[in-house]
Structure 1
Amino acid sequence: MSKLLEVPVIDIARFRSGDEDDRRAVAREVDRACTDIGFLIIDGHGVDPALIERTRAVSREFFDLPEAEKRRVARPRVDVSRGYTGLEDESVARSRDASATQGDLNESLMIGPVDRPDEAYATAPAAGQHFAANIWPQRPAALQPVWTEYYRAMGDLAATIMRIFALALDLDEHYFDDKIDRHISRLRLRNYPAQAEAPKPGQIRAGAHSDYGSLTILCTEDKPGGLQVCNAAGEWVDVPIVPGTFIINIGDLMARWSNDRWVSTLHRVVNPPAGAGGAARRLSIVFFHNPNYDARIECLPNCAGDGEPPRYPPTTSGEHLRSMFVTTQNAAAGQQA
């Protein structure tokens, strides 16, 4: 069977409410998407559309605030994934290419877990900054409760997807349950403003990169200048925007966990056409799902065998993420030197 070169749409309602045959059929479709292109679009997810719209609306209110007010909740440092990051302050491509010099043409606001586990777990040395306090803006007042509700909804959806993943990888459906019950995920809203001025040479909305964690759940808009993925043929292809769906991709951690059976695919957000004006403003709601910081990441059963030994030494989710943040931080420091 030839590889998928476009991102498929998969209805997971059959997994959520179907019989065993339906559930395994969904798992097979997901396995093929994760093996071939690392991206899929899910329908039938059960998330309330009104919650998505509330999240989008309150986030637009925040990004419409004066720059000085947004800076009051600025990200405190690189290893603390909380707070506001301004336009061109970040270059995600540096995680892959230390020579990437241009800042990305987006701004963002980010939070971490909204339900803190017991103090001994949250403050253990291995926890690092994964349960650092969230930094909430004073305005708009509705942002904290709406984002909290959305974060919890994404945690529930991620748990469902991880059960599909387990079946897709020939594991017990609940294999990942105890590895994600205290997850260290991040919710990040990215605002891609309309471009009143031409970008610098080589500068785009978000440079080519792969995500760090287990999976990403993206809700975005059908606006000019959008998401592209690099397929198995080395071609950049647009990810279609299907109303009422989420875009899912696996990250480096899941690729490592599966011994590279599944691919963590390079992707980027390109610029809109010149002259697109205000219609090109895009808001993306991104949930980066990451397992418990102490979840052991080693080659999964059925992902290695005679001629395909484990490719990576064991690590933990927290250590994997910390190493990725350090790599990015060092690359950024090299650019500033």
Structure 2
Amino acid sequence: MDEQYVLPLVDISLLNSMNAEDRQQVANKLNQACKDVGFLYIRGEQFQPELFSNLLKVTQSYFSQPLEKKMQNYIGQSLNHSGYVPVGEEQFTESSIDLKEAYDINYDYQGAALKFPLLGPTQWPEDTAFKQHVLSYYQHLKAIGQQIFQAIAVALNLDEHHFDAYISHAPSQLRLLHYPFNPAAQDAEGIGAHTDYECFTLLLPTAPGLQVLSKQGEWIDIPLLKNTLVMNIGDMMEILSNGRWLATKHRVKKVQQERYSFPLFFSCDYDYVIQPVIPNEQPRYPALKSGEHLFNQTAQIFSYLKKKVASGEIVLQNARPLSSFGMPENPMEPK
């Protein structure tokens, strides 16, 4: 780890190279960072800062509207879990309510009707600029994520294109998160401690607040680093890597300043079976279905889905408890 930074920093520019050795070099650095920490900074010539600037402007404009206006696109009225998420809708634990609002953008699937609950046309507000700039950022980061999937394959001693066929219609979600100005903020949680459910996340925050649980069981503040994103490993990649890389618990503490955060969660196709892929290793994890796990975890957090589960309208199949992956908060305790 570079001593100048709290997290390892990996430059992914060479993933654009036609030289396989250059791409292998990036894969080696990703492997080390994911194995050692599970969280890292990434930067590269691929990133277009102007797309982030446009995203931030339309997001600020959207969240400045009255609550009544935003609730016209409430996520609970969508068929594929997209739309506006009011403060208090999400709850990771009984004692913790997330003090943020959000707008969730799913993979805007326009193909033939599917039975999967996380795929379909995104619910968009009636704002052309919002849709244009949010989609531009989503598609830009999605292309970079595909490069990272290829580097991950190399890091795991697989063919570079191993994952290509399994991410063509992935329900990868972009969240536009807004933490309002809070002059009374203390060190309480703005988002409760959790691991991400998917393979990996690429995050752009505008202010501090992110904390990561170290392997020593300590919460570490993650400062902003100019012209970088934060990347972290999720549940699915812990399984795929057969535990070589652990999903890392993280949380967001309440801060006084207004804060925006833009995570894009990269998953595999809904019906792809997540199981260890390391060649010549005995699997340490049972297999699970990608979309099923993603929906099960989501349904344990969002109020509108919890109500449907409680009423029997939704029946979860093979649901794992929240925080089933990653290190325990007390490293002396079993997972």
When normalised by structure 2's length, the TM-score is: 0.84
1:124-163 matches, within 5 Å, as: 125=115, 128-139=116-127, 141-163=128-150
Q: Which amino acid aligns with 2:292?
A: E
Distance 1:163 1:103, change over 3 A: same
Q: Mapping of 1:97-108 within 5 angstroms?
A: 100-108=94-102
Matches of 1:41 and 1:234, distance apart in 2: 21
Q: Out of 161, 185, 189, which is 1:174 matched to? A: 161
In structure 1, distance between residues paired with 2:202 and 2:122 = 20
Assess, with a 3 A threshold, how the Cα gap between structure 1 residues 325 and 299 changes in structure 2: closer, same or farther.
same
Paired residues of 2:75 and 2:85 also in contact (CA < 8 A):
yes
**Is 1:285–2:258 an aligned residue pair?**
no
Superposed displacement of residue 39, structure 1: 1.0
Give, as a single letter, the amino acid of the residue that structure 1 aligns with 2:294: L
CA distance in 1, matches of 2:66, 2:301: 29
Q: Following superposition of structure 1 onto structure 2, how do residues 1-337 of structure 1 map, counting pairs within 5 Å?
A: 6-17=6-17, 19-76=19-76, 80-91=80-91, 93-94=92-93, 100-116=94-110, 118-119=111-112, 122-123=113-114, 125=115, 128-139=116-127, 141-198=128-185, 203-221=188-206, 223=207, 225-272=208-255, 276=256, 280-302=257-279, 305=281, 309-328=282-301
Describe the superposition over 1:129-185 as per-residue Cα deviations: whole angstroms up to 9, x where unpaired. 12133211124x310111111111121011011011011111111111001112111
CA distance in 2 between partners of 1:230 and 1:105 (Å): 20
Bigger relative contact order, structure 1 or 2, given CA contacts below 8 A and separation 6+? 1
- CA-CA distance at 1:324 after TM superposition: 1.9
Structure 2 counterpart of 1:97: none
Asked whether the equivalents of residues 114 and 151 of structure 1 are also in contact (C-alpha less than 8 Å), the reply is no
Q: Number of aligned residue pairs: give it.
A: 306
For structure 2, the 5+ residue unaligned runs are: 312-335
**CA RMSD across the alignment:** 2.6
8 Å contact from structure 1 (residues 230, 266) kept in 2:
yes
Cα offset, 1:115, TM superposition: 4.4
> What SS does the corresponding residue of 1:263 show, helix, strand or coil?
coil
Q: 1:14 to 1:46 in 2, by over 3 A?
A: same
Partners of 1:88 and 1:102 within 8 A in 2 = no
Query: Which has the larger displacement, 231-240 or 185-194?
Result: 231-240
What is the percent sequence identity of the aligned residues? 32
Shift of 1:18: 6.5
Deviates more, 1:238-247 or 1:160-169: 238-247
How far apart in 1 are the matches of 2:211 and 2:185? 20
CA distance, structure 2, for counterparts of residue 250 and residue 197 of structure 1? 32
Write the distance in 2 (CA, Å) between the matches of 1:152 and 1:290: 15
Distance change >3 Å, CA 20–CA 132, structure 1 → 2: closer
Offset from partner CA, 1:20-54 (integer Å, 9 cap, x none): 33322211111111112111111115121111100
Distance 2:68 2:300 in 1: 30
Distance, in Å, in 2 between the alignment partners of 1:20 and 1:159 is: 16
**Whole-Å Cα distance in 2 between the matches of residues 186 and 322 of structure 1?**
12
1:176 corresponds to which letter in structure 2?
F
Whether the aligned pair in 1 keeps the contact of 2:39 and 2:231 (CA below 8 Å) is yes
Cα distance in 1 for residues equivalent to 2:148 and 2:269: 16
Per the alignment, residue 325 of structure 2 pairs with none
SS at match of 2:75: coil
Structure 1: 5+ residue runs without aligned partners?
95-99
The structure-2 alpha-carbon separation of the partners of 1:325 and 1:77, relative to structure 1 and needing over 3 Å to count, comes to farther
In the TM superposition, residue 287 of structure 1 has moved relative to its aligned partner by 0.8
Q: Give the TM-score taking structure 1 as reference length.
A: 0.83
The answer (yes or no) to whether the contact 1:6–1:37 under 8 Å persists in 2 is: no
Give, in angstroms, the shift of residue 80 of structure 1.
Answer: 4.1
Distance 2:214 2:15 in 1: 27
